[in-house]
Structure 1
Amino acid sequence: MSLAFSCAGLDVPQAVRTQLAEDDVAARLVAEDPTLWGPDAESEAAVRLAWLDLPATSRELVARLTGLRAELLAEGLDRVLLCGMGGSSLAPEVICRTAGVPLVVLDTTDPDQVAAALTDLDRTVVVVSSKSGETLETDSHRRVLVAAFAAAGLDERQIGARFVVVTDPGSPLADTAAAMGARAVFLADPHVGGRYSALSAFGLVPSALAGADVGTLLEDAADLAEHLAKPDNAALELGVALGAGFRTGRDKVALAPGDGDLVGFADWAEQLVAESTGKQGRGLLPVVLESVDAPGATAADVLLAVVGGEPVPPGPSMGVTGPLGAQFLGWQYATAVAGRILGINPFDQPDVAASKEHTRRILDSGPPDEQPVATIGAIALYGANGALDGVDLSQHDGVSLAVDALLAAVPPRGYLAVMAYLDRAGDARAGELRAALAERTEHAVTFGWAPRFLHSTGQYHKGGPPTGVFLQVTGEVSEDLPVPDRPYSFGMLQAAQAAGDRQALADRGRPLLHLHLTDRAAGIVQLLDALC
């Protein structure tokens, strides 16, 4: 089965369909025509369309990966640990969760979560994945793992044999891999952007080594690829719906799981849609929902997308069904089409660097001197850009009042973004904040674990419409972990990333409430109780 699309309750302006047909967009996209998004985007698009070829060109990886997995298993290396951020980790995570095979994903700077990954080293092979080869988090992960293997008694040759590297040709990571004697190096196509790389070596290498059937994944994508030049294909219809939603005032795309067997797909699609469209003061905001009836599924500015299921009337909604390989390719194609309808370049990310630059400056010069406005129980409160103006924090329900003030600051057609600089496993209950906050407002509420969202929705936060307000949640570090051969620890890096993002948002005048949990477990419970 290939991709299938259905839609209910959405008015698609005829002008949208007519223009796409007259411009022969379907065929030109498959032909990799870089002029589709206008002259300003042409140079970027010219080197960013090879993802359309991946169902065919990635086939050569399958046999090599099958052999490498067998080799690793023969040596007792059956635990795969992936170090990567954004496009380097989100697709493998979905592939392996959907396939039901174990993959440990390390895409955090939280010391507890990093330390938890440094276990079972006697059976661990590490995949280090970075397109640029300069990703700060991934380099830090590689360093701490090399040190952990050395502490376990492995020599340099043995340590190198525990690493598999995925990167672009000529990157600094390719040089590092050679220097450390990595067991295998996979050089990906440099003409594929990170968020479009699900079917490239970035998506396939860790997934295949973990035991996922990547051959079938590619076959399912290839089945869809045969139809993409046709003017009525399902992926084009999905792109039309996304663009029409934007044109008719539904610029929030609520991504909900259907009854199918795709697991966690919305987390991957979130990056694709947000980073591709959130720029030049416009964009489509993806909102990952817990279910089709979760808070936030219906609002005047929301288009509900059921991934792996059918539309849910009576509100405007769409259903996208099909196997995972077809879903990957179909949503990439649809996002490229939507980019044309929105009038933006879907292949650049001009605002992602803002937080990174602030983070590096803070690591060099030290953290900013910030004092809490109040401390209530296990929560210290900080505000920026008027987030706490007029709030009486002396009240026993001061946390609830502060959150209500932040929600009141959401402008018409705006949104609240929750950003959790915490341990995704140990502090998992923080994920309940999205639904709890969505119950208190008619506006869209998103949730992101940091720093992974910086490589995803972080682009939309800075480059999209200036209608967001932000709730940042950080937590006290109980036991820090040094980054080998660097003058900072993971705790310092995590704090610098949080402060850097606060600064980037402050530079753009975005209201922000920062809650620091002096005791993580108690603070999360206190915060959730305050929202009930």
Structure 2
Amino acid sequence: MSALSVEALGAAADAVEAHLPTLVEDKVASRLFAQDATLWGPDAESESAIRLAWTSLHRTSRPLVGEVSALREQLRERGVHRIALCGMGGSSLAPEVICATAGVELVVVDSSDPDMVRSCVEDDLAGTAVVVSSKSGSTVETDSQRRIFIKAFQDAGIDPTERIVIVTDPGSAMDKQSRADGYRVINADPDVGGRYSALTAFGLVPSGLAGVDIGALLDEAEVVADLLAEDDAANPGLRLGAALGGTSPLRDKLLLTDRGTPIVGFADWAEQLIAESTGKEGTGLLPVVVGSDGASEQVATAPDASVIALTADDDEAGPTEAVPSQVNVAGTLGAQLLLWEVATAVAGRLLGINPFDQPDVESAKNAARDLMANPSETAEPALGTDDAVEIRTTGTALSLSGSADSLEASVDTLLATLDPERGYLAVMVYLDRLAHADLAAVRGALEARTGRPVTFGWGPRFLHSTGQFHKGGPAVGAYLQVTGTPVEDVEVPGQEFTLGTFIAAQAAGDAQVLADAGRPVLRLHLTDQEAGLTQLREVLGRQ
């Protein structure tokens, strides 16, 4: 496979032609790798100044290779053959794609769903070691998972300090307390934001402990680093960034399609990087993960869409017939991790936004905290019930007059709010994503039904990804939220809440922030998960 290849076609090629000369003339690439914080304007400068160390990680992360290898041998001597990762957003998505591509098992515990967390903890605990990853050291989901694993180890007569590895920024509360409690702590580079942290300790420690050759991954990034730093028209990072963020009018729906890439799950990582980096100030880029089936013809040819084909090599994709805008991208995993980070930073410059903050992710977290303090406000009364599904709305942007007792009618009412020219539907499911993975198949059916892009996100995972775009991007979305009564709730040791109350607050808080921003939100709560999921599959899968 070529180290990197970027081919733009149609409107994407026009964007490259329009913006590439200026990007080269302004020395954007060399300034980026020199960590020039002025590239995104004065308002972004203070944040950018502490977020650009990812450009040199192919060199600065090298000491981790030996350290992680030695730690892996220690754990194997203790009988460990299974690695679980507690983390959210960039702390979990990069290791997930790295391990999946290498064919190595990694159990990613990136949920507050009680049923999912319980099953991950109970499965082969005796052979498990856990990486707990949190940049801030205060991520509530991750801290809750950590507490649950600690108690499980203690109950099983296993010393948790011999089985849990902490990855966090130096000086965080988790760093200080974990060291005091005798845990192994590995610090990440504090000058790298979470979603750009694939090649920091957050991406490399769990991957290396699981058995990935992380030195080879860094080698792949190093091979292309000089190319991506060149102020040259052949620079694939500049070309991809221009194709993503420089179309006019802006094609802000990026249809990420698997066209034979050997990299497993890459679109999920890219989704988080792009959406959280660019979706703000009423603009941004919305990645739509459409998989190997591709998008429907109506969506792929829409004037606000570009097809991004993730290919096995530069000569295998070719143009998609009748698609007016397409980018074919190929390359090794380490090279593409660095490529897409560069391209996202370049796209942010073209969009005129700061690609390193995430203000609306914080707003949803704050709303969830408020609801945790007042749990009686977590769920407004149901407007109606259809067998195992309670039907609710939040705010005034969606009226269910006459349709609140019917799941099918309420979904139809939400879909009727979609802007036929620029709109998108976001399906947001706060359930066990491992047990109910097949539910994601409704995405394609809803896309065919509406003729508009449809994203599918597992909560709270998507809150660290497309959740930023939902609230900070253009107000053209419709939002379908699914929650459920857990089969069995899980206590969080040392806290006054359970995982069930926490995930309910996260869902309600996100819905409230969306509603406050004038977005239409339909909330469906499954009182019986098995029966409710059967209803959902039938109604949402209808074309």
Which category describes the TM-score, using the shorter chain as reference length?
over 0.9
Letter in 2 for 1:70: E
Give 1:17 deviation, angstroms. 2.3
Letter in 2 for 1:26: A
Residue 44 (str. 1) matches residue 47 (str. 2):
yes
Residue 376 (str. 1) matches residue 386 (str. 2):
yes
User: Counterpart of 2:38?
Assistant: 35
Measure the CA separation in 1 of the matches of 2:246 and 2:136. 34
Measure the CA separation in 1 of the matches of 2:537 and 2:393. 19
Measure the CA separation in 1 of the matches of 2:302 and 2:270. 20
Give 1:63 deviation, angstroms. 1.0
Measure the CA separation in 1 of the matches of 2:443 and 2:287. 13
Residue 173 (str. 1) matches residue 168 (str. 2):
no
User: Counterpart of 1:210?
Assistant: 210
User: Counterpart of 1:425?
Assistant: 434
CA-to-aligned-CA distance 1:101-123 (integer Å, 9 cap, x gap): 00001010111101101121111
User: Counterpart of 2:407?
Assistant: 399
User: Counterpart of 2:241?
Assistant: 239
**TM-score, scaled relative to structure 2:** 0.94
CA-to-aligned-CA distance 1:332-384 (integer Å, 9 cap, x gap): 00000000110111111111111111111111111325221111122111123
Letter in 1 for 2:134: S
Give 1:31 deviation, angstroms. 1.6
**What does 1:87-486 correspond to in 2, within 5 Å?**
87-118=90-121, 119-154=123-158, 158-182=159-183, 184-230=184-230, 231=232, 232-245=234-247, 247-295=248-296, 296-309=299-312, 310=317, 311-315=319-323, 316-368=325-377, 370-384=380-394, 385-393=396-404, 398-411=406-419, 412-486=421-495
Measure the CA separation in 2 of the matches of 1:268 and 1:486. 31
**What does 1:491-510 correspond to in 2, within 5 Å?**
491-510=500-519
**Contact 1:312–1:318 under 8 Å retained in 2:** no
**Contact 2:397–2:515 under 8 Å retained in 1:** no
Letter in 2 for 1:323: T
Counterpart of 1:509 in 2: which secondary structure?
Answer: coil
Measure the CA separation in 1 of the matches of 2:309 and 2:117. 33
Give 1:22 deviation, angstroms. 2.3
Cα gap change, 1:350 to 1:376, in 2 (>3 Å)? same
Cα gap change, 1:393 to 1:349, in 2 (>3 Å)? closer
Give 1:294 deviation, angstroms. 3.6
Which moves more between the two structures, 121-130 or 381-390? 381-390
**Contact 1:420–1:430 under 8 Å retained in 2:** no
CA-to-aligned-CA distance 1:222-276 (integer Å, 9 cap, x gap): 011021122121121111100223x333111111112121100011000100010
Counterpart of 2:450 in 1: which secondary structure?
Answer: coil
Measure the CA separation in 2 of the matches of 1:29 and 1:517. 48
Measure the CA separation in 2 of the matches of 1:68 and 1:58. 16
Letter in 2 for 1:430: L
Measure the CA separation in 2 of the matches of 1:437 and 1:519. 23
Residue 67 (str. 1) matches residue 67 (str. 2):
no
Measure the CA separation in 2 of the matches of 1:435 and 1:277. 25
Counterpart of 1:499 in 2: which secondary structure?
Answer: helix
Which moves more between the two structures, 25-34 or 482-491? 25-34
**TM-score, scaled relative to structure 1:** 0.96
Measure the CA separation in 1 of the matches of 2:402 and 2:286. 29
Which moves more between the two structures, 363-372 or 473-482? 363-372
Letter in 1 for 2:291: E
**Contact 1:282–1:464 under 8 Å retained in 2:** yes
Deviating beyond 4 angstroms after TM superposition, the runs of 4 or more aligned structure 1 residues are none
Measure the CA separation in 2 of the matches of 1:410 and 1:363. 32
Q: Which runs of 5+ in 1 are unaligned?
A: none
Give 1:468 deviation, angstroms. 1.2
Which moves more between the two structures, 188-197 or 434-443? 434-443
User: Counterpart of 2:21?
Assistant: 18
CA-to-aligned-CA distance 1:68-100 (integer Å, 9 cap, x gap): 111211221111010000010000000000000
Measure the CA separation in 2 of the matches of 1:351 and 1:149. 36
Give 1:21 deviation, angstroms. 2.4
Measure the CA separation in 1 of the matches of 2:367 and 2:533. 27
Measure the CA separation in 1 of the matches of 2:533 and 2:399. 20
**Contact 1:5–1:319 under 8 Å retained in 2:** yes
- Quote the RMSD (CA, aligned, Å): 1.4
**Contact 1:235–1:330 under 8 Å retained in 2:** yes
Letter in 1 for 2:169: D
Give 1:195 deviation, angstroms. 0.2
Counterpart of 2:482 in 1: which secondary structure?
Answer: strand
Counterpart of 2:21 in 1: which secondary structure?
Answer: helix
Letter in 2 for 1:407: L
Measure the CA separation in 2 of the matches of 1:109 and 1:243. 34
Which moves more between the two structures, 278-287 or 65-74? 65-74
Counterpart of 1:95 in 2: which secondary structure?
Answer: helix
Give 1:391 deviation, angstroms. 4.0
Give 1:429 deviation, angstroms. 2.7
Give 1:503 deviation, angstroms. 1.0
Measure the CA separation in 1 of the matches of 2:322 and 2:32. 33
Q: Which runs of 5+ in 2 are unaligned?
A: none
**Contact 2:375–2:501 under 8 Å retained in 1:** no
Q: How many residues align?
A: 524
Which moves more between the two structures, 510-519 or 202-211? 510-519
CA-to-aligned-CA distance 1:396-444 (integer Å, 9 cap, x gap): xx32221121111122312111110000012223212211211111221
CA-to-aligned-CA distance 1:186-224 (integer Å, 9 cap, x gap): 111110000000011000000000001111110000011
User: Counterpart of 2:85?
Assistant: 82
Counterpart of 1:459 in 2: which secondary structure?
Answer: helix
